[in-house]
Amino acid sequence: MVIGIIIIIFLLSTLGFFSYKLYQKVLTTEKIQKEILDKQNIDVLEREQKSKVLIDLQQKALDDAKLELTKTKTDAEKTNAKIKSLSQAVENQSLLPKEIVISSNDLASYTTGVVQVICSKSDGISSGSGTLWTFKEEPYSVVTNYHVVKDSIKCVISLTNSVNETIGIFKIKDAVYTFNKNTDEAILSIGESIYSKSVPIANYNYSLSTVRKCQNDMPVGSPVVIIGYPAYAKRNSTLDINTIGTVNVIYRTVTNGIISGYDSSQPGNANYFVSAKIDNGNSGGMALGKDGKGLCILGLPTWLTVGNYETQGLVQNISNIFPAQ
C-alpha cells in the first residue's frame, strides 16, 4: 500500500514537474509570440508613420506642383496678353503712313542731268543752273530760269560727272528757244561743243525729262531736294572757257529739306517755299519731291533775297512751267 502511495506520489510529482515545464514552455512561447506581435505592431506603426510622412510629402509636392502650374498658367496668360498687345501695336504701326524720304539711291540716276549755265554779260560773268531736257521740237535742250540768261552776251553749259569732273562744255544757241516771263522759265537750245573731252550731246543724261510731275498740292512737310551749282560751292580751281573767259569751278550740290509753305501771289498753281538751302547759282536747277508713288519733279528752284536774316528759296511749280505736260 505504501509502495502504491509512493508510486502514486512519484507519478504525481513527475506529472507535476512535466506539467510545470510544459507550463513554462507555454509561457515562454506566449511571451515570444507576444514579443513578435508587439514587434509586428511596432513595425506596422512605423510603416504607417513612414507612409503618412511619405503621403504628406507627396501631397505637399502635388500642392506645390499645382501652385507652380497655376503660376505658370497665369504667367503664360500674361505673356500671351503682352504678345497680343505687341502684335496689335505692330499691326497698328504698319497701318500708319510711313515716313517718306528721298535717298541717294533715288537720286543716283538723275543728278548728272543738272548742268551749270555760265553766261557773259555786260557787267561780268554770271552762273546759274539748268536741267537737260528733251522736247519733240528741240530734243537737246536746257530748262532754266529766264533771269539766268537774260541780257546775256554769250552762254555755255558745263556738264560734270558724279564726282564733279567736267565732261563736256557746249555753246547755247544765241536765240532762246522759248521763255515764259510769268514763271521766270526759259528753254535753251544746245549748240556745238567747245571742249575737247565732250562726247556727242545725245550721250548725256536727259532722264529728268521723263520723271513725272508732282501733284499740284504737295503737302507741307513733304521732302524736297535741290540740285544745282550754288555760289557757296565755288572752288579755287579755274576753267578757261572759249567765248566766256576764266571762271571758277563750281561743284554740283544736293541740299535737302521739306516744303515749308506756299506762295500764291502769282497766277496759276501755288509755288513752294522750302527749307532746303537755295543759294545764288541754284536758280534754274531742279527741285525734286517724293510722295507715295515715288520721286517727282516739284519745279525750278529760284534764289530770292528776302528776309531780314537769311535768304529764302522759292520753287516755281512745274505745273505752271509745263501746264500741258
Residue ranges per domain, the chain? 1-86, 104-321
pLDDT at 21: 67
pLDDT at 113: 97
pLDDT at 230: 94
Partners of 294 in beta bridges: 291
**Which of the following CATH numbers is that of domain 104-321: 2.40.10.120, 1.20.1250.20, 3.40.50.2300, 3.40.50.720?**
2.40.10.120
Block mean pLDDT (10 aa), the chain, length 325: 69 64 70 77 78 82 83 82 77 63 94 96 93 92 93 94 95 79 88 94 96 91 95 92 91 94 83 90 95 94 61 82 71
pLDDT at 309: 44
pLDDT at 10: 64
In whole angstroms, give the CA distance from residue 278 to residue 294. 23
In whole angstroms, give the CA distance from residue 133 to residue 114. 10
Please, which residues have CB within 8 angstroms of residue 156's CB and are 6 or more apart in sequence? 117, 118, 119, 169, 170, 171, 172, 194, 241, 243, 244
pLDDT at 40: 78
pLDDT at 37: 76
pLDDT at 74: 83
DSSP letter at 242 equals: T
Polymer length in residues for the chain? 325
Q: Residue 66 corresponds to which amino acid?
A: K
Cβ-contact 300, 286 below 8 angstroms = yes
Is the overall model pTM greater than 0.85, yes or no?
no
In whole angstroms, give the CA distance from residue 8 to residue 244. 173
Q: What ranges make up the beta strands (E) of the chain? A: 114-121, 124-133, 141-145, 152-160, 166-172, 178-180, 185-193, 223-228, 234-241, 245-250, 253-263, 271-274, 286-291, 294-304, 312-317
